[in-house]
A and B are shown apart, each in its own frame.
Chain A
Amino acid sequence: MDLQAVNNTLPEGFRSAFNYDETSEEYYLNMGPQHPSTHGVLRLVLKLNGESVIEVVPHLGYIHRGLEKVAENQTYLQNIHLTDRLDYLSSHINNLGYCLAIEQALGIGVPLRGEYIRVMICELQRIQSHLLWWGVCGMDLGAVTTFLYGFKERELITDIFEELCGARLTMNYFRPGGSFVDVPDTFIPRVRQVIEELKRALDEYNTLLTENIIFQERTRAIGILDSAKALSYGCTGSVLRASGVSYDVRKNDPYSIYDQFDFDVPIGTVGGSFDRYRLKMEEMVESIKILEQAVQSFPQGPHRSKERASYKLPKGSYYSQVETARGLLGTYIVAEGGPKPYRIKYRSPCFSNLHALNDMAVGHKIADVVTILATLDFVVPEIDR
């Protein structure tokens, strides 16, 4: 066998050497960028022995749009809508993270009603994102019905957003100092309705999927990530919390008025797929708790502090971090005093979580790679930016 020729045709990026032994049953399988369960354009190259995974190499760049570079040529306000396109399932929270950095730089305060709106919208967004994830997670495991059930309740929240800012996915709603428009009168009644609906729906979801024995067998002890590894890879969000580390930006580094609300941070024990799944389900319950408190004490008053003619950040660097539906989103702005940023860097949770994929998947079956991908909950545009 011509080893040189074989080596040239092997896929790149693998740390384990190719087994030239003729009895070896190793082969490579290309999963993605067009694959039903990589959700978007994530490409994985799997090295397999029969059905068992030996190594996974993710390939990025299929949806790279240069958002960080584009941001350098736009004014600070124009950049808000670009943050929608990072993790499109938590666009409100992305907006908030960016606005927080600007508020920090310019010392802009937010009126109490504005803060309440922010917290409520962010929690609604978190639930909305988790509902979609729940549906997709079930579908990846073969239970197609969950997909439509998840969307059914998600629609209620999306309707609220549509009435709020006209958009259903890329919101562009928050501004430095509050939000660009006040909430409509129907907002609070609709949130109440959503809370009621969700409590019923979550019970239904647990009966349909969580308590299903096949589902539990498929997820328990699959893709275990211990806390030391999770920390060293920089995992955040439910991936980190499932490994037993209690870290939630809302609790540990409270922004907006999260410190005024009473909610728990659920943590897992083993760090397997079922833990990650369970955490997300419990996070929805916690978000509902926050919403209930906020609805009770929703104040009157202005929704935004006084608008400025221009937003020019003084020279220096500014950092803010928020907890999106997937983990810690950091926004780092380097300013040189002009109307445009010198450099913007986003620290996206999915990118860090992706690193842990190989460690989790090794030794499992192909079907488990799908399970792990489903519970890691990737949004690919955030990985590539």
Chain B
Amino acid sequence: MNPLQTNTLYPVQNSIGDMVREIFPASAVYINGFITIISLLMLVSLLPVFLIWLERKVAAHFQARLGPMRVGYHGLLQSTADGLKLIFKEILKPEGADTFVFFLAPILPATATFLVMTILPFDHHMQVADPAGGVIYVIGISGLSILGILLAGWASNNKYSLLGAMRSGAQMISFEISLALIMLLIVMVTGTASLREIVLSQQGTILDWWIFKLPVLGSIAFIMYMISSTAELNRAPFDISEAESELTGGFATEYSGISFAMFFFAEFVNMFVSAGIATTLFFGGFLAPQIGIGFLDSVLDFLPGFFWFFLKTFLIIFLYMWFRWTFPRLRVDQLMYLEWKMLLPANILLLMVGGVFLALGWIL
């Protein structure tokens, strides 16, 4: 007998899954798996297109201008056009670059983000897989994208790329520790590392979300999560690995065409994943924001879970964009100082205080 219960691996416990199981009982596992992967691929390829448009629009309105307006309604098709342009562009490889590594590097971050997407709980029964150690899986897989950036900088045979790669390597590895510790806090108070169960532990009203349920600590943990995930995403004010005013393009200096687009796309999907995990950990994931008034709650519940998931996630994405278009950039050593001397001790303290809260039962 197969030790890996394929039925539990790809349950697809929704009406589509049930329909497939009814019609093709024998091959339902494979068909359902195929359907989930295709739909996830579609999401992964459409998300960055929309997010890039959103980023440009948000940036434009922060800067008192309009942004893309020509292609499609309010420029909605602008990033599709840009993406198409990038696909048809010539892929250049600098002289002296390591061919294999140079072309392998852009694939790794894209793969990593896709793999993390598979365990995001979009709705009650909209999750490709729900491993028991979901949080640990997220931490482990997101390390892959660092590898891609390091390889890109090394293989490009360019000093600017190398500097950018080394910076981002140091940065992402350090901030990953903070990120893991914050996730650990939530895992500790919920008693489970499965993302779906973390969401389900927040059922009830808004006050049952972990950001409020843990008095004070929840909000502090969320702020810390935002800081370290912004750094982890290489976004301003922590975008020292690209730092266009210092390193021209950072690790992506020598990339062109679709290989550049891969980095770019991975960056934006990563932002979505990061915001999605924040939603899952702190904002009750796909649960509707109930406020305790019976009539309103039933209306809010009527809307599907993925609507709430995407709404919350995009609000957090807007926060990331707000940071980017407001703050100046930190310097390399300041960034390291922030992590090792401020965030990390604060994190450990947070974890300890969280343990005390848990032991005393100070959870709302």
Contacts and interface: CB of A to CB of B under 8 A. Distances in A.
Q: Do A and B come from one complex?
A: yes
B331 A138 contact: no
Interface of B is mostly: loop
Given A365-B331, A365-B333, A366-B163, A143 B326 contact: yes
A208 interface: yes
Contact of B243 (A208, A215, A367): A367
B245 A37 contact: yes
B246 A37 contact: yes
Contacts of B59: 144-145
Nearest to B160: A29
Interface string B234-257: 001101100111111000000000
Nearest to A46: B159
A14 to B, nearest CB: 17
Contacts of B248: 35-36
B243 A149 contact: no
Contacts of A51: 163, 332
B325 A218 contact: no
A140 B64 contact: no
A149 B63 contact: yes
B245 A139 contact: yes
B47 interface: no
A214 B330 contact: yes
A63 interface: no
Interface in B154-168: 159-160, 163
B27 interface: no
B334 interface: yes
A214 B333 contact: no
A148 B64 contact: yes
Contact of B159 (A27, A139, A144): A27
B334 to A, nearest CB: 6
Contacts of A149: 63-64
B332 A215 contact: no
A51 to B, nearest CB: 6
Contacts of B65: 148
Given A149-B64, A217-B334, A142 B325 contact: no
A27 B325 CA distance: 34
B327 A152 contact: no
Nearest to B237: A214
Contacts of A143: 326-329
Q: Which are the 10 A-B pairs with shortest beta-carbon distances?
A: A142-B329, A148-B63, A143-B328, A141-B328, A37-B245, A142-B328, A367-B331, A140-B245, A215-B328, A145-B325
11 contacts: A37-B245, A37-B246, A51-B332, A143-B327, A143-B329, A144-B63, A145-B63, A148-B63, A149-B63, A214-B329, A217-B334
